[in-house]
Amino acid sequence: MPEDRTEQPHIVTCTAPVNIAVIKYWGKRNEDLILPINSSLSVTLHQDQLKTTTTVATSRSFQEDRIWLNGKEEDITHPRLQSCLREIRRLARKRRNDGDSGVDSASLSHKVHICSVNNFPTAAGLASSAAGFACLVYSLARVFGVEGELSGIARQGSGSACRSMYGGFVQWIMGNKEDGKDSLAQQVEPETHWPELRILVLVASAERKPVGSTSGMQTSVKTSCLLKHRAESVVPGRMVEMTEAIRKKDFAAFAELTMKDSNQFHATCLDTCPPIFYLNHVSQQIISLVHRYNKHYGETRVAYTFDAGPNAVIFTLQQHVPEFVHMVQYFFPPETNGADFIKGLPVNCASLSEELKQGIGLEPMPKGINYIISTKAGPGPRVVEDPTQHLLLSDGFPKKTM
Ligand code: DP6
Q: What is the pLDDT of residues 100-147, one digit of tens each?
A: 888 778 788 899 999 999 998 776 667 679 999 999 999 999 999 998
User: Would you say the CB of residue 156 lies under 6 angstroms from ligand 1?
Assistant: no
> How many secondary structure helices (H) and strands (E) does the chain include?
10, 17
Q: Give me the pLDDT at residue 28, please.
A: 98
Q: How confident is the model at residue 291 (pLDDT cuts 50, 70, 90)?
A: very high
CA distance linking residue 6 with residue 256, whole number of Å: 59
pLDDT over threshold 50, residue 5: no
For the CA of 265, the nearest atom of ligand 1 = 1
User: What is the Cα gyration radius of the chain?
Assistant: 22
Distance 26 CA to ligand 1 centre (A): 7
Q: How confident is the model at residue 2 (pLDDT cuts 50, 70, 90)?
A: very low
Q: Give me the pLDDT at residue 336, please.
A: 73
pLDDT in tens, 57-95: 999 999 999 999 988 999 999 999 999 999 999 999 998
Q: Which residues have a Cβ under 8 Å from the Cβ of 31 and sit 6 or more positions away? A: 218
User: Would you say the CB of residue 125 lies under 6 angstroms from ligand 1?
Assistant: no
pLDDT in tens, 327-341: 999 999 998 766 789
Among protein residues, the one with the nearest Cα to ligand 1's atom 1 is 307
Assign residue 342 a region: left if phi > 0, alpha if psi is -120 to 50, beta otherwise? Answer: beta
Count the Cβ atoms, other than its own, within 10 Å of residue 89: 17
CB 348 within 8 A of CB 186: no
In this structure, the dihedral spanned by the alpha carbons of residues 171, 257, 20 and 180, taken in order and rounded to 10 degrees, is: -30
pLDDT over threshold 80, residue 205: no
User: Would you say the CB of residue 214 lies under 6 angstroms from ligand 1?
Assistant: yes
| Average of per-residue pLDDT across 42-55 | 97
Q: How confident is the model at residue 402 (pLDDT cuts 50, 70, 90)?
A: low
Q: Which helix (H) or strand (E) holds 80?
A: helix 79-97
51-59, strands of its sheet edge to edge: 72-74, 66-69, 111-118, 51-59, 10-17, 382-383
User: Would you say the CB of residue 34 lies under 6 angstroms from ligand 1?
Assistant: yes
SS3 at position 244: helix
Among the residue ranges 86-100, 150-164, 374-388, the one predicted with the least confidence is 86-100
CB 359 within 8 A of CB 317: no
Q: Give me the pLDDT at residue 33, please.
A: 97
User: Would you say the CB of residue 305 lies under 6 angstroms from ligand 1?
Assistant: no
pLDDT over threshold 80, residue 270: yes
Among protein residues, the one with the nearest Cα to ligand 1's atom 12 is 160
| Average of per-residue pLDDT across 32-53 | 97
The structural domains of the chain, with segments of one domain joined by +, span: 10-193+381-389, 197-376
SS3 at position 126: coil
| Average of per-residue pLDDT across 352-356 | 95
DSSP string covering 6-69: TSPPEEEEEEEE-EEEEE----EEETTTTEESS-EEEEEBPTTTSEEEEEEEEETT--S-EEEE
Across all residues in the chain, what is the average pLDDT? 94
Among protein residues, the one with the nearest Cα to ligand 1's atom 6 is 214
Among protein residues, the one with the nearest Cα to ligand 1's atom 5 is 159
pLDDT over threshold 90, residue 239: yes
pLDDT over threshold 50, residue 228: yes
DSSP string covering 266-314: HHHHHTSSS------HHHHHHHHHHHHHHHHHTS--EEEE--SSS-EEE
CA distance linking residue 321 with residue 350, whole number of Å: 9
pLDDT in tens, 243-260: 999 999 999 999 999 999
Distance 370 CA to ligand 1 centre (A): 24
Q: Which residues have a Cβ under 8 Å from the Cβ of 355 and sit 6 or more positions away? A: none
Distance 130 CA to ligand 1 centre (A): 8
How many percent of the chain have pLDDT more than 90?
A: 86
User: Would you say the CB of residue 191 lies under 6 angstroms from ligand 1?
Assistant: no
Q: Give me the pLDDT at residue 208, please.
A: 66
User: Would you say the CB of residue 127 lies under 6 angstroms from ligand 1?
Assistant: yes
CA distance linking residue 126 with residue 124, whole number of Å: 6
User: Would you say the CB of residue 13 lies under 6 angstroms from ligand 1?
Assistant: no
User: Would you say the CB of residue 164 lies under 6 angstroms from ligand 1?
Assistant: no
CB 399 within 8 A of CB 393: yes
CA distance linking residue 165 with residue 171, whole number of Å: 11
| CA 143 to centroid of chain Cα atoms | 23
| CATH class held by domain 10-193+381-389 | alpha beta
Q: Give me the pLDDT at residue 401, please.
A: 61
Q: By CB neighbour count within 10 A (0-12 exposed, 13-18 middle, 19+ buried), where does 101 fall?
A: exposed
CATH 3.30.590.10 fits 197-376, yes or no: no
Distance 48 CA to ligand 1 centre (A): 23
DSSP string covering 342-369: EEES--------HHHHHHH-----TTSE
Q: How confident is the model at residue 3 (pLDDT cuts 50, 70, 90)?
A: very low
Distance 381 CA to ligand 1 centre (A): 19
